[in-house]
Amino acid sequence: MLSRLFQLEEHKTSVKTELLAGMTTFLTMVYIVVVNPIILADAGVPFEQVFLATIIAAVVGTLWMAFAANFPIAIAPGMGLNAYFAYSVVGANEAVGYEVAFGAVFISGILFIILSLTSFREKLIEAIPSNLKHGITAGIGLFIAFIGMRLTGLIVPHPENLVSLGDLQSPQVMLALFGLTVTIILMSLKISAALFLGMVITGVAAYLFGMLSFTEGVASIPSNPEWFIFGSPLDALVNVIQYGLYAVVFSFLLVTIFDTTGTMIGVAQQAGIMKGNKMPKARQALLADSVAKTVGSVFGTSPTTAYIESSAGVAAGGRTGLTTLTVAVLFIITAFFSPVVGAVSGIAAITAPTLIIVGSLMVGAVSHIKWNEFDEAFPAFLVILSMPLTSSIATGIALGFITYPIMKIFSGKRKEVHPLVLIFAILFAIQLVFLPH
């Protein structure tokens, strides 16, 4: 039955291969159930709420991908966007609580669903300069790595230079450095579950040295998660208008569109799914992410995205939705181990190495920027520089969008600027000058 349902013979794969591929993908991305609650906790969101919401969003999106698109691409709350949610949307504005921010995620999710059902998504993707896309990815990566180093005390505030090196003899910093060393060794050995295994080994070290304890046991029955924590859909819309969160909604929408589309195309090419320059069932695949994003916001997590870690499962032979069905089932099983995840999430040194390494992988996007063309390179550079220094992904995107058309126009390359980019530049300029951000 599984063979017919997922067309295994047509894709030249087997049930065994797909199950092993699903386990591989799951092990490479399961770190998110630990890291996501840690980051969103800084926005005041209760651990249990984020833990269950992370799993619900991952299961919904991944099952949609499995049955509607039959793709081996897993969905879960994305790194970078959770940091933006916690530190730029909630942390930078005392008037905006996490409930209001989840409403903004919900609105952007609804817009993403609508765009996924129309051709506007393709037009929007084509409109944004590729160098800005790469700059956004790299800037988010640098911001994530910065957060990872700050959480563990590897870097600390400095009165004159903003930040400086922390106390390398403190137990927390030593544990983080141990975890980072172990994980990069595993990465160098090309072990597919390196990020997850790195956290496990670091957690064992923390337990042996008395830094980690499991006072509430190992497993438990999941509680009933609260839902619609932002109120009703109408409340979400009213709050976006009241608090002027237009740039926030746009940032959530923009990053998820580019991140998801780019990841899907890359993994689909690796799996041999692409037909020329087109991806079959692209609409269903994009709906998987947009629906998961919307559902996740209802239960209390930041936006979802297609996971590049899915490439590990594809490398293991995954070609169909049976791979992602396996991932979804494993996420459901994980829901019964919240005490373990809760204990681990209380020690930043266990998870911070993952943030730093994921950040380094995202910064790799700078290699695609046209550095020899100043009017292309500088806007991307400004995006990368301003995200960590302003602790705001939205500000970085805004500055990039504003400077790009200015430089192109005065370089005599007005025709290279898409009208949508001009519109976004004006909207971002108004937002930075007149609206709270």
Written as one string, the DSSP assignment of 340-402 is: HHHHHHT-HHHHHHHHHHHHHHHHGGGGGS-TT-HHHHHHHHHHHHHHHHHT-HHHHHHHHHH
At 94-110, the pLDDT tens digits run 889 999 999 999 999 99
Q: What are phi and psi of 4, to 5 degrees?
A: -75, -45
At 205-257, the pLDDT tens digits run 999 998 888 877 778 888 888 889 999 999 999 999 999 888 889 888 877 77
- Please tell me the distance from the alpha carbon of residue 185 to that of residue 179, in angstroms, as a whole number: 10
Cα separation values, 173 from 38, 150, 177, 210, Å:
17, 10, 6, 15
- Please tell me the distance from the alpha carbon of residue 399 to that of residue 401, in angstroms, as a whole number: 5
DSSP string for 296-326: HHHHT-PPEEE-TTHHHHHHTT--SHHHHHH
Tokens (6 digits) for 192: 């597919």
Q: Quick check: 387 and 395 in contact, CB under 8 A?
A: yes
For the chain, what is the domain count? 1
Cα separation values, 331 from 63, 100, 185, 355, Å:
11, 27, 27, 20
Q: Quick check: 301 and 81 in contact, CB under 8 A?
A: no
- Please tell me the distance from the alpha carbon of residue 322 to that of residue 53, in angstroms, as a whole number: 23
What's residue 87's pLDDT? Answer: 87
* DSSP three-state, residue 79: coil
Q: What is the pTM of this model?
A: 0.76
Q: Which residues contact 207 (CB under 8 A, 6 or more apart)?
A: 213
- Please tell me the distance from the alpha carbon of residue 321 to that of residue 317, in angstroms, as a whole number: 12
**Cβ-based neighbour number of residue 51 at 10 Å:** 27
What's residue 125's pLDDT? Answer: 63
Parent domain of 63: 2-434
Q: What are phi and psi of 41, to 5 degrees?
A: -60, -30
Closest CA to 351 of 218, 175, 189, 192: 175
pLDDT (tens, 9 = 90+) of the chain, 437 residues, equals 778 888 888 888 989 889 988 888 887 788 899 889 989 999 999 989 999 999 999 999 999 999 999 999 999 998 878 988 998 889 878 889 999 999 999 999 999 999 888 877 666 666 778 888 888 888 878 887 888 898 888 988 888 878 898 889 999 999 999 999 999 999 999 886 788 888 889 989 999 998 888 877 778 888 888 889 999 999 999 999 999 888 889 888 877 776 777 677 767 777 777 666 567 787 888 899 999 999 999 999 999 988 877 877 887 788 999 999 999 999 999 999 888 887 877 788 887 888 888 888 888 889 989 999 999 999 999 999 998 888 777 788 889 989 999 999 999 998 889 888 898 888 788 877 775 55
Q: Quick check: 57 and 106 in contact, CB under 8 A?
A: no
Closest CA to 254 of 427, 417, 403: 427
Could you identify the residue written with the tokens 């090309």?
Answer: 190
